[in-house]
Structure 1
């Protein structure tokens, strides 16, 4: 077994203008698993190409254990009993991370301004921060988002420019809601895009039974369309309704 030998060789690119990150990761993994490693640097493109040709491989790094070629970084992970994530697999990780950060920011803001972690402002800021962070993900590549958005949004399918407007509208509404300014503008925006979004997602997923990727965290999302995107839109609608009702409700007290 490989772990019994505890010796390995690795060939990786270490050039003046480029050091292969996967080579660094593979070297670190071997050392953490207790291997004594002979670290061979491929210091030029010519040397790298010659190595690939000699061993009939397409990529570096390449790891050898007990004189046998294991392969690159992912092959090494599998060889040592680890699991390599499928880059195309469906995942909720980006959304979980985004909402967790929004919650942390909301509680931090509440603590700084009111001296308490959980207040009404915490809930308001959580939704507003979430809107801003979701908008930021879309704004990283507006065209890619807008293209994916066309797959299911009812308004974007009929008026294509809406897909490019949406991220700016969501971000603007979120920022205004954080500040508490221009509610006459932010509330209608959130109510409009949230309602259309919720209806679109509900129709695509729960009526038409379509299996689509959600554009909610950007155009390269691997998050499935469904509950998450529906939640995003429902939150916007709820925030808009709350902002409309808040003066009357608080005034009654």
Structure 2
């Protein structure tokens, strides 16, 4: 005998409930034949909520028992909630991983010379550009978080608005092979100030802060990863400058 479930979800000309679609997909993947009822307007939805004394849709029923919404359905099947996927470190791990893979892809294609030195410099360049992109998506949110620990931004708030552009410029300069005297001072400057700021805030003052390196409202703790990022920018800038002077 096939398993059956009854699902009520909002499907209107202006809105298709994403959790209703997810509930239907989950039920079907679990082997249920779904009796799919569409709530096509606000009055139908409100009447359904009042009848079943619920505050939200979708709602799933299995064997005439109300299971509830999408989160309740995942719990019914002993599945981890989607909100629990990943961690606070997921964004930075994804950024660094994609930066490394992009450089490797270009090397495999022959667009970049193979070797450890070009890999490291181009990896730092790509990572800086992606990190700048994260910050520039919401510059105000980034600045609100950044000025709580960056020593220069605390004194000159406008630096918080300049920083992502400087980071993007330095990263693009590394990738484009701009003259070292044009790129390295910027990379050294923002990397050195950033490293000193993290050391003071985290390791001297022992403050528990969130890092703005992946953009405003980030949940990434300020600490070792933030320090490593700044030291990488500082190191890349110093290397480029020393190579030019040699």
Q: Is the TM-score greater than 0.5? A: yes
Using the TM superposition, give the Cα deviation of residue 74 of structure 1 relative to its aligned residue in structure 2, in angstroms. Answer: 1.1
1:59 matched to 2:56: yes
For 1:184, the equivalent position in structure 2 comes to: 181
Equivalent pair of 2:106/2:112 in contact (CA under 8 Å): no
Secondary structure of the corresponding residue to residue 213 of structure 1: coil
1:158 matched to 2:129: no
For 1:217, the equivalent position in structure 2 comes to: 214
1:135 matched to 2:132: yes
For 1:9, the equivalent position in structure 2 comes to: 6
Distance in 2 of aligned mates of 1:226 and 1:203: 10
Equivalent pair of 1:15/1:44 in contact (CA under 8 Å): yes
Structure 1 gap ranges (5+)? none
For 1:144, the equivalent position in structure 2 comes to: 141
1:207 matched to 2:204: yes
After TM superposition, the structure 1 = structure 2 runs for residues 111-126 of structure 1, keeping only pairs within 5 Å, are: 111-113=108-110, 117-126=114-123
Distance in 1 of aligned mates of 2:97 and 2:152: 30
Using the TM superposition, give the Cα deviation of residue 16 of structure 1 relative to its aligned residue in structure 2, in angstroms. Answer: 1.4
TM-score (norm 1): 0.91
Secondary structure of the corresponding residue to residue 37 of structure 2: strand
Secondary structure of the corresponding residue to residue 148 of structure 2: coil
1:240 alignment partner, one of 232, 237, 242: 237
Distance in 2 of aligned mates of 1:244 and 1:146: 29
Using the TM superposition, give the Cα deviation of residue 118 of structure 1 relative to its aligned residue in structure 2, in angstroms. Answer: 4.1
Cα root mean square deviation, aligned: 2.0
Matched residues, number: 246
Equivalent pair of 2:59/2:69 in contact (CA under 8 Å): yes
Distance in 2 of aligned mates of 1:161 and 1:53: 52
Structure 2 gap ranges (5+)? none
Equivalent pair of 1:89/1:222 in contact (CA under 8 Å): no
Superposition misfits of 4+ residues, deviation over 6 angstroms: none
Secondary structure of the corresponding residue to residue 9 of structure 1: strand
Distance in 2 of aligned mates of 1:124 and 1:226: 23
After TM superposition, the structure 1 = structure 2 runs for residues 61-100 of structure 1, keeping only pairs within 5 Å, are: 61-86=58-83, 91-100=88-97
